[in-house]
Amino acid sequence: MKRTVVEVDWLLFPEDAKAVEKRLLAHPGIYRADVNPVDGLAVVEYDETRVTIEDIIHIVALCGYHCRGVVVPRHLTKAEGEKGDLHHITDGGRAEETPAEDSQGPVPINPEGQASIPDKAINEERGVHGDDSAPAHAVPGKERPEGIPKEHEEHGGMSGDIEIMAQDMLRRLLVSIPLTILILPYSVLVQELTGISPPVPFGLSADVFSFLLATPVVFYGGWMFFIDAVRALRNRILNLSVLVTISVLAAYIFSVGATFFFTAETFYEAATVLMVFILGGHWLDLRARGNASAAIRTLLELAPPMATVVRNGQPVEVLTSEVKVGDTVLIRPGDKVPVDGVVIEGESAINESMITGESLPLSKGPGDEVIGATINQVGSFTFRATKVGADTALAQIIQLVAAAQASKPPSQVLADRAAQWLTLTAIVLGPLTFAIWFFFAGQSIVFAFTLAVTVIVIACPDALGLATPMAVQVATSMAASRGILFKSATALEDASRLQAVIMDKTGTLTKGEPEVTEVMPAVGITEDELVAIAAAVERGSEHPIAKAIMQRAERLSLPSVSGFAAVPGQGAEAQVNGSAILVGNLLLMETRDVVMDGMKEKAQELASEGRTVVYVAKDGEIAGLIAVADAPRPTSQEAIRRLKERGVETIMLTGDNWATARRVAADLGIEKIFAEVLPAQKVDKVKEVQKEGKLVAMVGDGINDAPALVQSDVGIAIGAGTDVALESADVVLMRSDPLDVARVITISSATRRKMIQNLWYAAGYNIIAFPIAGGVFFPLIGLLLRPEIAAFTMSGSSVLVTINALLLGRTPVK
């Protein structure tokens, strides 16, 4: 089973995504297909022995849409293809497939076999020049999907697809508005309201003049909707385009008949005003959707286009896509790191906030890992490339974020069904409304027809379709900018309902390495003196406890040492400033008959609290005690406090003894503990809490805790660093910060509130709008709704849902 994220262009409405999903799922070997209607990213899970990327692209094309291939970061274009090695060239962040043997560098090929023009910057870098007015290497007879503008195909993409649709919508709107304004003075409704009948130019009748003005508005302004409606019906989907097509063409065709074939009032002004409001509302909607997808587009653009590689002893500037595993890469101050790797030589500080969310620059030296797309602050260094192309941390992050945004939370499944039934209901109720008012209520054909068109227009499923995807889009992007990666919308929604969080102690709540926690000197000696002589003896040792003492003494001046000798199993001895120094355990002290002077009881007290005690003796007398323990992370206590404030029980799980567990739990304020737990027993502890009827999250390192992460309702892998492709976790935390667990719940809770609000806004709009549109209140209070006003409110509901979701980005996440 393989999962990939591809890009689908020209999705006008949320229901269009459903059409692509249905067609993909109908293909043998494809087991999952989730398409995000906001930015057109599709997550496809398939059997790679039966399905290829080319098959997926072809299936999307059969739907009448356009798929440009796998989504990988811009400039990181070399990846392992489905059929041998393929180059993936990105056009606005999308991946394109071309034969690797192209002598001039890869040329992107679209699903119909027609080559697209590569990004201008990449052409110039490769020395490729050509006529931008037409695609290179065009294959005769192969054309782009109908209804997709030429400029969209050539220059669109994840970075511009929505913007180009919005620009196209705006052009049609700007043409339609002045023509509609010219029509209005000749409509019967406006003349009745103003009492003014303006003269008709060119000696034409008012109806013929309106016909000439309305025709370009209807067919130029509405052409994209008509084409999309045909696609939707072919894919057995009902969307807003179907409603627009029915209502606008019904009003236009009836008016044409009244103009040339029979006598009746015309609806040219209704058709054109309706089209203007639909174009204007959807243009605003597309602009808002573009803002929502800005975060992932930023991720796509993070990788630098060029890298400096050392070859034959000389630095050479090459395309980032040409960096190979094992290459030595040179980084200067201010450079972006092009790919992932390990520092070979030099030291610097690197800003990794764009990847991990860590605000402070991190020091890097030989042996340290560097992440592609991060920014070098000061100093120069060289590193060995270990991951390139689609294997880099940036590429994995983009895949995870895109997959989460395209996945559907449980609430969206119900909303999708409701949207389809709503559209079908409108199509049925439109003619029924006409029949009731014309045949049974005895109203005029104009009155009945107006209400019928209004009913069809008012039933916009767009808001329902966008209610949760917009919230998911904003939330996952907001979380990713903080180093929090949700792998599915279900995890995003479920995290808000958590009742218990089980946290692994070592490496999660604690640092996972010993640290000096207490220094207890004897009378006549200071803490610094005690630590200095102990560190002088331990200098050079690789033992974790010795490293902890050395770290505590890093700012101290250490005395010289002579006569050093290790005492196996007990410690070490040496001469320090003429004094005999012993550093070790109680056995060493007892063997050398050290005078303890009451320190033994204090040491036992420290040991009972789970600390490891190091004894230091000077000239046969105890000089003091140094307590070493796995210290809590600085933010662990605050994380526990925030979880408690939310009513979430925190449980610590550890393989350590009960004394150590109680000490750490007491320091952090944790009341429930699972101690002395073997790795295989962690799953049982998760099940034990779940049997209490609680929704449980397990927080661990994603490797040793993998079975428990899978068993939990929400598995959270903490401190993942560059290893973000952790299959066992539902949420990946790039930083080793327990506070991010509380932040996960904060983001999830805020997102769920927005989902519920949006669903109520969308459902409430239709509950109120349907009876008004059908004229239910006309006999009682004379309330009627014109098609133009219906179009305005319909678009307004979608924009309201979109803006409400965008406000999620203002949620304080501390």
pLDDT band at 286 (very low <50, low <70, confident <90, very high): confident
Active site residues: 504
Mean pLDDT of the region 371-400: 87
* Whether residue 126 has pLDDT greater than 50: no
* Whether residue 565 has pLDDT greater than 60: yes
Separation CA 105–CA 87 (nearest Å): 9
Q: Which of 37-41, 229-233, 504-508 has the lowest mean pLDDT?
A: 37-41
Residues in the chain: 814
Selection from 46, 34, 43, 35 nearest residue 9 by Cα: 35
* Whether residue 117 has pLDDT greater than 50: no
Q: Which pLDDT score is estimated for 414?
A: 67
Going through 394-552 in order, the beta strands assigned E by DSSP cover 484-486, 500-504, 510-521
| Helix%, strand%, coil% for the chain, nearest 5 | 50, 20, 30
Q: Do residues 746 and 811 make contact, with C-beta atoms less than 8 angstroms apart?
A: yes
Q: Do residues 732 and 720 make contact, with C-beta atoms less than 8 angstroms apart?
A: yes
**b/e code 365-392 from CB counts within 10 Å (16+ = b):** eeebebbbbbbbeebebbbebbbbbbbb
Separation CA 114–CA 144 (nearest Å): 8
Tokens of 770: 């349907």
Q: Do residues 411 and 418 make contact, with C-beta atoms less than 8 angstroms apart?
A: no
* Whether residue 607 has pLDDT greater than 80: yes
Q: Which residues pair with 565 in a beta bridge?
A: 573
Q: Which strands form 2-9's sheet, in the order they lie side by side? A: 30-35, 41-46, 2-9, 66-70
SS3 state of residue 219: helix
Which residue matches tokens 């079908």? 424
Selection from 358, 360, 387, 359 nearest residue 371 by Cα: 387
Q: Which of 216-230, 283-297, 645-659, 702-716 has the lowest mean pLDDT?
A: 283-297
DSSP designation for 337: P
Q: Which residues pair with 501 in a beta bridge?
A: 650, 697
Going through 440-492 in order, the beta strands assigned E by DSSP cover 484-486
Q: What percent of the chain has pLDDT over 70?
A: 85
- Identify how many contiguous H helices and E strands the chain contains and give both numbers: 28, 29
Other Cβ atoms less than 10 A from the Cβ of 579: the count is 14
Give tens-digit pLDDT for 743-795: 999 999 999 999 888 888 887 877 788 888 888 888 888 888 777 677 777 77
DSSP designation for 84: S
Separation CA 214–CA 231 (nearest Å): 25
Q: How far is CA 41 from CA 179, 399, 406, 554, in A?
A: 37, 10, 6, 51
Would you give the distance in Å from CA 701 to the centre of its chain? 21
Where does residue 313 fall: left (phi above 0), alpha (psi -120 to 50 degrees), or beta otherwise? Answer: left
Which residue matches tokens 């006549």? 524
For residues 288 and 226, which has the higher predicted lDDT (pLDDT)? Answer: 226
Rg of the chain taking only CA atoms, in angstroms: 34
Separation CA 671–CA 501 (nearest Å): 12
Q: Which pLDDT score is estimated for 636?
A: 92
Separation CA 296–CA 655 (nearest Å): 40
